[in-house]
Amino acid sequence: MEVSPLPASPILALIRKDLLVEARTREAVGLTLVLAVLVLIVFRAGFEVVGTAQPAAPVLWIALVFATIGGLARGFHAEADRGMLDALVASPADGGQIFLAKTASGSLVAVALGLLTLVLAGVLIDAALLVSFHVVVPFVILGAVGLSAVAALVSAISARARQRAALMPVVALPLCLPLLLVGVQETQAAISIFFVAHSPAAGLAAITAYDALVIALGYLVAPRALET
Amino acid sequence: MQPARLERILRLKIPFYIAAAVLQIAGIYLGLLWAPILSTGFSSPVAQRIFYFHLGAALASYVGFSVTLVGSVLYLRKRDLFFDSLSRDAAGLGLAFALMVLTSGPLWGYAEWGTPWRFDDARLMTYLTLGLVFVGYFAVRRSAPNPAERARSAALYAIVGYVLVPLSFLSVLIFRSLHPRVVLPGGGGIGPEGGMVVGICVTAAMLLFVALLLSRTELTLLEAKIERLQQGVEA
């Protein structure tokens, strides 16, 4: 499998294209934000009805995972719906560069929305998330990047599938589980009163390693996934 | 692969079935009745005997997913649908053995830890995630619009999902886990008798896997032959 070098300009051009489309349509941002808020509200309501404490860390990360996979799944699927997938593949950028651009543009959106979701979760679920904001933020950022990479990779593989919207969560959610587990564990540790004794270094290393692995796999696999 | 050579390989399934049956019966007798009870390190030493079958099923599932990976890579290189069928069959068998692991493990876990499952345990969750990924593999296959696209999408997804196999295998060494470690120098305390039973049961599981894969491959080839004949008749 040929792996071409990484000239910056095709990737930057594609990122710019995606961000411009998003700025005009607000398709991913709107959907992702609404989905995140709905998940937070549903969990808040569900736990409050039975009178149990609301676990802030899992609720935050569940909202992030569902919002990112649901909102950013449109990545390559949107291109396919508009009949632009073949044009994208025929562009000067190769499949790996297209994947990196899609991941980067998705990450920018996901990180922004992730931070917003963190604030909303602090308001709706548990204010401890706001108190530990500076500790949780690196995990939210790295998690958002990883989730975007998973979304881009799975949407590339399923771009030409039937019922790709229904297929996306079935295929993407298992790949998001490692990020969810580490994110929840580290966020819970951050908002715990025993945080002083916990070092986030191992968690940061684990999330970073998984992000790098998914991005590397996507770079290698995407050219074959997008070819006609 | 030449048809005659493939035929000779497929005929090996009967000896493999027989060998698997003999070893499995021996493993059941030795594991349940002969192997010494391990009271050190296990709070439920009797339930520990599940391990002899649990490990074989786990290793067979890893082999199944590994064959899926190899078949997927070969398909992408050669574009021969035989490798896609091989990948599909191996993934199905891998999932079947994974189901055995996910059944026997919680039974043992309930006796040993007082709970059948721990969602905060990295070892357990990485294995469950691996199983879910390969369930997704079949979802990808069902959603493809044509055989070539199905083979390609499935192959790519299998390559991506396979990263969880080494992660699952090594997680017991990397992360703190309730799951016992036995693949260590010294064998984790199961002793030479236990080691022998493990060897018999693992070999039985591997032989069964190969026999089932050969049967599935033969079935696939027969289905293809029937389809060709039907197309010939209709033409």
**Residue B8 within a domain:** no
**Cβ–Cβ < 8 Å for B205, B60:** yes
Task: Quote the pLDDT of residue B200.
Answer: 92
Q: Is the pLDDT of residue A115 over 70?
A: yes
Highest averaged pLDDT of the listed ranges A42-56, A105-119, B38-52, B65-79: B65-79
Residue A175 near chain B (CB below 8 Å): yes
- Per the structure, the count of domains in chain B is 1
**Residue B152 within a domain:** yes
Q: Residue B78 is part of a domain; what is its CATH number?
A: 1.20.120
In this predicted complex, what is the ipTM?
0.79
DSSP string, B2-67: -HHHHHHHHTTHHHHHHHHHHHHHHHHHIIIIISPP--SS-SSTTGGGGHHHHHHHHHHHHHHHHH
**Cβ–Cβ < 8 Å for A94, A220:** no
Neighbours of A209 (CB within 10 A): 13
Task: Quote the pLDDT of residue B177.
Answer: 61
Flag if A171 and B140 touch (Cβ within 8 Å).
yes
**Residue B201 within a domain:** yes
Task: Quote the pLDDT of residue A143.
Answer: 95
**Cβ–Cβ < 8 Å for B91, B74:** no
**Residue B41 within a domain:** no
**Residue B224 within a domain:** no
Residue B41: band (very low, low, confident or very high) from pLDDT cuts 50, 70, 90: low
**Cβ–Cβ < 8 Å for B93, B216:** yes
Greater pLDDT, B190 or B88: B88
Contacts of A25 (CB under 8 A, 6+ apart): none
Q: Which residues of A touch B161 (CB under 8 A)?
A: 174-175
What is the average pLDDT score of chain A? 85
Neighbours of B119 (CB within 10 A): 9
CA distances to A93, A134, A138, A180, A188 from A194, in Å: 49, 16, 19, 21, 10
Determine the structural domain holding residue B82 and report its residue range.
Answer: 14-32+47-219
Percent above pLDDT 90 for chain B? 49
**Residue B226 within a domain:** no
Flag if A171 and B159 touch (Cβ within 8 Å).
no
Worst-scoring range by mean pLDDT, A103-107, A167-171, B121-125? B121-125
pLDDT in tens, A19-40: 888 888 877 777 788 888 888 8
Worst-scoring range by mean pLDDT, A121-135, A196-210, B76-90, B203-217? A196-210
pLDDT in tens, B199-212: 999 999 999 999 99
Sequence spans of domains, chain A = 8-226
- The alpha carbon dihedral of A31, A33, A36, A40 has a sign of negative
Task: Give dist(CA A149, CA A132) in Å, integer.
Answer: 26
Interface residues of B toward A, Cβ cutoff 8 Å, are 76, 120, 122, 125-126, 129, 132-133, 135-136, 139-140, 143-145, 149, 152-153, 156-157, 159-161, 163, 167
Percent above pLDDT 90 for chain A? 32
Task: Give dist(CA A128, CA A136) in Å, integer.
Answer: 10
pLDDT in tens, A196-222: 666 788 889 989 999 999 999 999 999
